[in-house]
Copies of this chain bind each other. A is one copy, B any other.
Amino acid sequence: MNTIEQLSQTYDKKQPKLLEDYLTFLRFKSISADSEYREESQACADWLKAYLTQSGFQVEQWDTAGNPSLFASYHSSAKNAPTLLLYTHYDVQPIDPIELWESPPFEPLIKEGLVYARGAQDNKGQCFYTVAALKSLIEENGGLPIHIKLIIDGEEEIGSPGLTKLLQTKKEQLKADYVTIVDLGILGPDSPAVTLGCRGIITMDVIVQGTRGDLHSGSHGGVAFNPIHALIEILSKLRDPQGKVLVPGFYDDVAELSADERKLLALEFDQAQYKKEFGSEATGGEKQYTPFERAWLRPTLEINGIYGGYSGKGFKTVIPAVANAKISCRLVPNQVPSKIGQQVKQFIEKNTPSGVQVTVHVHEGGGPGIRTAPSSKIVQAFATAYGEVFKKPCQFILEGGSIPITNGLREASGGELAMMGFGLATDQIHAPNEHFSLDRLKQGFLTMARTIALLGENKS
């Protein structure tokens, strides 16, 4: 019997050991964006592998050119058991600006019910409650009521380039009735929600080269073409003051939401609360749309980094040789990542003033926007579990972020998709002082365990 009450008692009993294991997991510096952390990432994968093996899983390491992925499976002895493929990741974002962290990012700190560490939420926290729920169900019940396949990606934060390539060759192993991405969130600590889709992404680097080397801005100022000026000229043409992206064709394929779909979504946005939480009103993006529409239903073009010239203390009167920008576009269903990448690249090349050279590297590893049906069995099972854990009806939401692997994973597995998780917008993921709450760690455990139980009960 796996009621919420029983699961809760089990969790409380196991909590000290689970917490210890969670903190161990957080200590690995598994940053995928920087190859200097390759060994630490492998150590993290090794630890997970041992943990899952000990829990009763068959575990394979799937090697890539970068960090490996883990594939773990558990065969249920139940008759006619369906298969659920769960996806999480163990890699994390870089830690800069390091000076803004109040505690070291890889030395987890528990303070007032919150765990502070890089990856505390994204995605080690969510990965851990998933693994812990599976382990606990096996320990308490002697097995699982359904077949489980588990992928723990090592490169999600850089767009899953390795796993993406493996999906085709691993199709047979990945076959499942349901596939669930465990990397999402809820709108508030008391707002249970299943996510019905997320935006896609395509990223690129822009490099503007002026003279061969840096020059003195006195002797050469007004003579040499400063590539920072050229970069500003280019980037200023990408969006208008109303936040509309001016790249031709950018919005051509955007799928509009039906009235029914729109009705289902929780679209009310609290500006005052946003300002309180983040220190500024939600005035980014296309002014003609509401904030949730801008975050969920509209694509973006965002400059994630810009750098050129002197950035140190004091002043340096330099005309730099090079200026750079990093750009990402968040995409909605029907937009094709590679097509958008090429459109932006061509627009930049066309708008580069003469006297400088521009290079645009569109990165591999993007992914399209995703939507799934609220009526599917897997979405309904999660919605029921969330409702039982929170003792209130479950909402349906979308996610503005991207999990580029989702589409490929859905296609490779052939399963019905659900997206779930326990992140909050205030968790500071991808930023200094990332944190996750102990409450949500438990809620995640309960929701995951209860959903598996529900899928087992409904298996006929």
Contacts and interface: CB of A to CB of B under 8 A. Distances in A.
A438 to B, nearest CB: 22
A401 interface: yes
Contact of A302 (B199, B221, B430): B221
Contacts of A319: 284, 302, 304
A300 B220 CA distance: 10
B326 A400 contact: no
A1 to B, nearest CB: 37
A274 B222 CA distance: 14
A295 B219 contact: yes
- Most chain B CB within a 10 A radius of its CB, from A221, A233, A280: A221
A406 interface: no
A100 interface: yes
Contact of A216 (B94, B239, B430): B430
- Most chain B CB within a 10 A radius of its CB, from A158, A210, A284, A401: A284
Nearest to A97: B214
Given A96-B310, A241-B233, A330-B222, A302 B217 contact: yes
- Most chain B CB within a 10 A radius of its CB, from A159, A243, A317, A356: A317
A224 B323 CA distance: 25
Given A212-B280, A400-B221, A158 B315 contact: yes
B283 A225 contact: yes
Contacts of A123: none
A67 B216 CA distance: 22
A281 B355 CA distance: 6
Contacts of A232: 232, 235-236, 303, 306
Contacts of A100: 213-214
Interface in A279-331: 279-286, 289, 291, 294-295, 298, 300, 302-321, 323-324, 326, 328, 330
Interface string A339-373: 00000000000000111100000010000000000
A291 B318 CA distance: 18
A379 to B, nearest CB: 21
Nearest to A280: B211
Contacts of A304: 217, 228, 309-310, 315-320
Interface string A413-431: 0000000000001001111
A16 interface: no
B298 A399 contact: no
A34 interface: yes
Interface of chain A: mostly helix, strand, loop or mixed: loop
A221 B285 contact: yes
Nearest to A430: B216
Contacts of A433: 213
Contacts of A283: 225, 354-355
A226 B303 contact: yes
Contacts of A300: 217, 221-222
Contacts of A159: 315
B401 A286 contact: no
Nearest to A297: B222
Contact of A431 (B214, B228, B298, B356): B214
A52 interface: no
Contacts of A236: 232-233, 235-236
A353 B280 CA distance: 13
B214 A430 contact: yes
B307 A217 contact: no
Contacts of A219: 185, 295, 399-401, 425
Contacts of A83: none
- Most chain B CB within a 10 A radius of its CB, from A225, A239, A326: A326
B221 A431 contact: no
A289 B221 CA distance: 13
Contacts of A313: 33-35
B324 A311 contact: yes
Interface in A152-211: 158-159, 185, 198-199, 201, 203, 205, 210-211
Interface of A: 32-35, 93-94, 96-97, 100, 158-159, 185, 198-199, 201, 203, 205, 210-226, 228-229, 231-233, 235-236, 239, 241, 243, 274, 278-286, 289, 291, 294-295, 298, 300, 302-321, 323-324, 326, 328, 330, 353-356, 363, 399-402, 425, 428-433
